[in-house]
């Protein structure tokens, strides 16, 4: 049997803020939402399948040096699409870990952009090819490892 990622569940501190970020900036579709006080959640998809669930349960932002989710990686269909997301994220005011599209490692064809969501969750939008020639900001480890 081969397993693939079904969906990712994230604890968030402010569901409305996170829903706006993932829906309005990253383009996910709202599939369902729980609005009961103390039990708020949102199911987000790509138009055909559930991809991400948001649960308003976190008491504060995450410390990047603690156990748990390391980062959440989304794959785009082209390097041009990655650059479109970069522009939308810059308009939104997101801080990036690196400047522009970077390679996953020196000489790699794969690469993307690396940033944080409103709760500090590390996010990546990348492509398996199309980033040839992009700089690799970290020599000793994969780019997605320590941002």
Per residue in 51-107, pLDDT (tens digit) is: 999 999 988 888 878 778 889 999 999 999 999 999 999 999 999 999 999 999 999
Residue 65 is predicted with a pLDDT of 80
- Print the SS3 string covering 34-67: ECCCCCCEEEEECCCCEEEEEEECCCCCCCCCCC
Q: How far apart are CA 98 and CA 112, in angstroms?
A: 10
Q: How far is CA 41 from CA 36, 44, 46, 101, 124, in A?
A: 9, 10, 17, 32, 23
Question: Closest Cα partner for 138 from 79, 98, 90?
Answer: 98
Q: Which residues pair with 127 in a beta bridge?
A: 111
Task: With beta carbons less than 8 A apart as the criterion, state whether 44 and 54 touch.
Answer: yes
Task: With beta carbons less than 8 A apart as the criterion, state whether 11 and 55 touch.
Answer: yes
Residue 1 is predicted with a pLDDT of 65
Mean pLDDT of 5-23: 93
Residue 55 has φ and ψ, to the nearest 5°, of -125, 120
Model confidence, pTM: 0.85
Sequence-separated (6 or more) residues with CB below 8 Å from residue 8: 51, 52, 53, 69, 72
pLDDT band at 3; cut points 50, 70, 90: low
Q: Report pLDDT digits (tens) over 118-143.
A: 999 999 999 999 999 999 998 877 88
CA torsion 141-70-109-113 (nearest 10°) is: -110
User: Between residues 146 and 22, which one has the greater pLDDT?
Assistant: 22
41-45 and 50-56 beta bridge pairing: antiparallel
Residue 29 is predicted with a pLDDT of 97
Residue 58 is predicted with a pLDDT of 84
């Amino acid at each position: 049997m081969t397993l693939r990622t079904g969906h990712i569940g994230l604890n968030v501190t402010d569901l409305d803020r996170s829903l706006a970020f993932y829906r309005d900036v990253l383009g996910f579709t709202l599939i369902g939402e729980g609005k009961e006080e103390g039990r708020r959640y949102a199911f987000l998809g790509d138009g055909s399948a559930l991809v991400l669930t948001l649960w308003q349960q976190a008491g504060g932002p995450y410390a990047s040096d603690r156990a748990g989710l390391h980062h959440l990686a989304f794959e785009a269909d082209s390097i041009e699409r990655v650059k479109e997301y970069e522009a939308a994220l810059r308009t939104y005011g997101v801080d990036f870990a690196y400047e522009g599209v970077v390679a996953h490692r020196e000489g790699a064809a794969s690469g993307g952009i690396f940033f944080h969501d409103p709760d500090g969750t590390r996010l990546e939008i990348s492509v398996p090819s199309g980033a040839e020639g992009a700089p690799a900001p970290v020599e000793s480890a994969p780019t997605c490892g320590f941002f």
